[in-house]
Structure 1
Amino acid sequence: MMKTNPFKPTAGAEPPVLVGRDTILKDFEIGIEEGVGAPGRLMRITGPRGSGKTVLLTELGDIARQHDWHVVDVTATDHLPELICRRLEKTDEIDYSVELDFMVVKAKAQKDSSQKLEDVYEVMGHAVRKLTKEGKGLLVTIDEVQDASVEDIREIAVAVQHLIRERLNIAFVFAGLTAGVMSLLGEDGPTFLRRAYPEELDTIPVDEVATAFHATFEKSGVHIDEDALAEAAEATAGYAYLIQLVGYYVWRSAQVRTGASIRSISMEDVRSGVVTARREFERTVLETAIARLPRTAMEYLLVMAENRLASSTGEIAERMGVSASSLTATRKMLVSRQLIEPTARGYVDFSIPFLREYLIEHRQALLARYGVEG
């Protein structure tokens, strides 16, 4: 009988082990259990692409459901408050006897923003009051929140804030790219959400990755020796998405080698799986991250790639033959897209693992996109 691959590298799919995220999950569950006002009920999750934000939102939703809460998950888009209202409208658990025509709401919203605020609060409030009375609650999660408008987020924040003040069971968790979220919560952003409990998804220690790999393989009845385990863990660079990719393709390599019934993972399986995982990571993460960059931004990254460690912004400008001040906007844009990050005053480094190696390997093809010879 063929054993099922326990690793799930599909975006948003729930992996068998949420490595290094136990504290966040516990913070949230404590918030649900402690009641209104607990910090874990208002949370912002930030991190680079592939750091596991969407997976974490899924797991938080599962925890809420285990406590008999209702969950509304949305991804930032236009008319976000209306989308949340529509999701609540479709909830079987909540009787919407309240008179509210959503088409009318939309029409009113276009004419009168104050009416829109009132309607979002009314719809969410109707749901939360009913759930609270039954000893339940409502969790609303927003993914890719950096893509939402400040106005939409402010409307939702006002509604959530008022419902918390009414001592109702509501939790609100939003996730997105670090720079984008901080920009959204800047001077014009809702002050209330700046107080959300911050959870930054950093890279995961390699020894924790190794422990998780070992536990996952052993649970499936598959042995892996220490050297192969160490090499597989090291290949992930502690990056959440890579953990799933490496695990998935190492398992698949062993499956190809041994057939349906896998009993052990060899070093050959690890090395073959890592090569495939790295190639898939380049396709799904790295190529997407640098797509549609302006030429100056691409040249900036290629100059950075020549350095083994962090790069001086002054040296980058010198190599590009321009003034450092002329590259300020380019640097800020690359930071906001979380391709690079400041490491010290006047120094930057790559935010995504293996981006340096990818740029070096594909330099000629990347420059050819802009009609430049490598």
Structure 2
Amino acid sequence: MNNPFNPSFGKVPNIFLDRTHAVTKLSNELQDPNSPYQTTLIYGVRGVGKTSLLTDIGNKMSAKKNWLVVNLATNYNVLQTLIDSICQKSSPEIKKLLDKIEGIKLSAFGIQFEYRLQELTETNYQILLENILDKLQAKNISLLVTIDEVDPTPEIKNFISLYQLLIRENYQISLIMTGLPNKLSELQNDDVLTFLLRSARMQLSSLDLLSIKHSYQDTFAKKGIAISDDVLVAMVKKTKGYAYSFQLLGYLLWEIADKKITFATLEQVQGEYLATLGRNVYYKVLQELSPVDHSFVIAMAKAPTPVVTTAYLQQELGKPKNYLSMYRKRLLDAQLIKSPARGMLEFTLPYFKEYILENLKFYA
């Protein structure tokens, strides 16, 4: 029996907890031309399942007869890549229509632009894209563009600005972007992209702990592996509801478990579990923090208890309350910390406190 857990990034896992409703809702909303979900921003911390959700939605929409899905990367030639991808993914019937558009030529080798290189301006790309959308619309085909882990580059901003224009002209085009909260906020607050403030937003947060418990119990039972309730609770606590941790811990335990998972089994995988979390997620998370944010999380990590008071942080950092409030809000928005009660803070990610303290030994 193959391992049903998948800690690889980007692939839709076999066990996709608490996300089925989101995929179904968004897939249905996209088919309503008046839905605010025609433009959707999906945000959350690294490893929360944004890419898997986007992949699942893209697959479901691609399976529909009247939809064409293009997955864009944040690269230099966004518009050219989009046009090329549309042509490549179109059916033979649609390709014959696209081949009649002035400025492009389809062949067995792909798409060729009939403009000279110096003539390929953003305006020409816009005209080509509008002509392509006209051909698609004539066949009642809608276009869904997805951009994963969006970066607010000039090219992406230009494309989103053009997308707004295409929406105003009633083209059947939709856009879903995933990204870290701070990067999506930067796009939304751009002077010419404020229309994104009115787009639908989907926050991917922690998985339901009871769902994790039942999933572990049922999945391992299919392999004939017994787990006591106490061990199950310990497994769930180790994930802290973090989607990547749920997949990673399940994967590691599946690889070594025979007939029973005990506390000793958990201890056996603990080292690899923590090392993989640090290497694949936490290193990058810390690297992206500003110097002040970094000082904030270090002060939290050094606190004697998992839950830290703002009064303690104010004393440790030697900063006034209003100064800390700004960085507290940034880290809350980034979903790295949460506030379980007024004046209280704790990390959202499992073993993040331990990871910070361990690295301080080497890099302090």
Say yes or no: TM over 0.5. Answer: yes
User: Normalised by the size of structure 2, how large is the TM-score?
Assistant: 0.80
Cα separation, 1, equivalents of 2:203 and 2:215: 20
The correspondence for 1:362, drawn from 350, 359, 363, is 359
Q: Structure 1's 346 and 270: CA in aligned 2 closer, same or farther, altered over 3 A?
A: closer
How far 1:107 sits from its partner (Å)? 4.0
Q: Deviations over 1:302-334 (max 9, x none)?
A: 22212332442x653542456678878977876
Amino acid at match of 1:357: E
1:174 equivalenced with 2:177 (yes/no):
yes
The structural deviation recorded for 1:213 is 2.8
Structure 2: runs of 5 or more not aligned: 105-112
1:304 corresponds to: 300
Shift of 1:128: 3.7
Percent of residue pairs identical: 26
Q: Which amino acid aligns with 2:246?
A: I
Letter in 2 for 1:80: V
Closer, same or farther in 2 for the Cα pair 1:274/1:224, shift >3 Å?
Answer: farther
Alpha-carbon distance change, 100 to 310 in structure 1, aligned in 2, over 3 angstroms: farther
Aligned partners of 2:116 and 2:196: how far apart in 1? 25
Contact 1:64 1:71 in 2 (8 A): yes
Give the aligned partner of residue 370 of structure 1.
none
**Residue in 2 that maps onto 1:283:** 279
**Superposed counterparts of 1:97-176, under 5 Å:** 97=99, 98-100=101-103, 102=113, 104=115, 107-108=118-119, 116=122, 118-145=123-150, 147-149=151-153, 151-165=154-168, 167-176=170-179
Equivalent positions of 1:1-374 (< 5 A) are 3-33=1-31, 35-68=32-65, 69-93=67-91, 94-95=94-95, 96-97=98-99, 98-100=101-103, 102=113, 104=115, 107-108=118-119, 116=122, 118-145=123-150, 147-149=151-153, 151-165=154-168, 167-218=170-221, 220-227=222-229, 228-254=231-257, 258=258, 265-291=261-287, 298-307=294-303, 308-312=306-310, 315-316=312-313, 318-321=315-318, 339-340=336-337, 349-367=346-364
Is the 1:45–1:174 contact (alpha carbons within 8 Å) kept by the matching residues of 2?
yes
Aligned-pair CA distance for 1:46:
0.6
CA distance in 1 between partners of 2:288 and 2:205 (Å): 26
Give 1:70 shift: 2.1
Cα distance change, pair 26–120 in 1 and its aligned pair in 2 (3 A): farther
The separation in 2 between residues aligned to 1:160 and 1:316, in whole angstroms, is 44
Q: What is the Cα deviation at residue 278 of structure 1?
A: 2.6
**1:146-165: CA deviations, max 9, x gaps?**
x232x434433344344445
SS of the aligned residue for 1:249 comes to helix
The one-letter amino acid of 2:193's match is P
Segments of 5+ residues of structure 1 without an aligned counterpart are: 110-114, 368-374
Task: Measure the CA separation in 1 of the matches of 2:79 and 2:346.
Answer: 37
Contact 1:46 1:181 in 2 (8 A): yes
Q: Deviations over 1:231-289 (max 9, x none)?
A: 322221111111110111010121xxx4xxxx665554444335432321122111222
Label 1:225 to 1:326 Cα distance change in 2 as closer, same or farther (>3 A): closer
Find the aligned partners of 1:270 and 1:315 in 2 and give their Cα distance. 33
> 1 CA distance for matches of 2:203 and 2:117?
35
Q: Is the 8 A contact 1:50 1:241 kept in 2?
A: yes
Residues 251, 265 of structure 1: 8 Å contact kept: no
Structure 1 pair 86–352 and aligned structure 2 pair: CA distance change class (3 A): farther
Contact 2:217 2:227 in 1 (8 A): no
RMSD between aligned residues: 3.4
CA drift at 1:169 = 3.5
Residue-by-residue CA offset, 1:6-44 (whole Å, 9 max, x unaligned)? 1111111210122111221122121244x3222333211
Which whole-Å deviations, capped at 9, do the CAs of 1:57-93 have from their partners, x for residues lacking one? 1001111012132221123233433332333343353
Instruction: Tell me if structure 2 keeps the 8 A contact 1:303–1:316.
Output: yes
Secondary structure of the structure 2 residue equivalent to 1:156: helix
Q: Shift of residue 177 of structure 1?
A: 0.6
Residues matched between the structures, number: 347
DSSP 3-state at the match of 1:14: coil
Change (3 A) 1:123 1:361: same
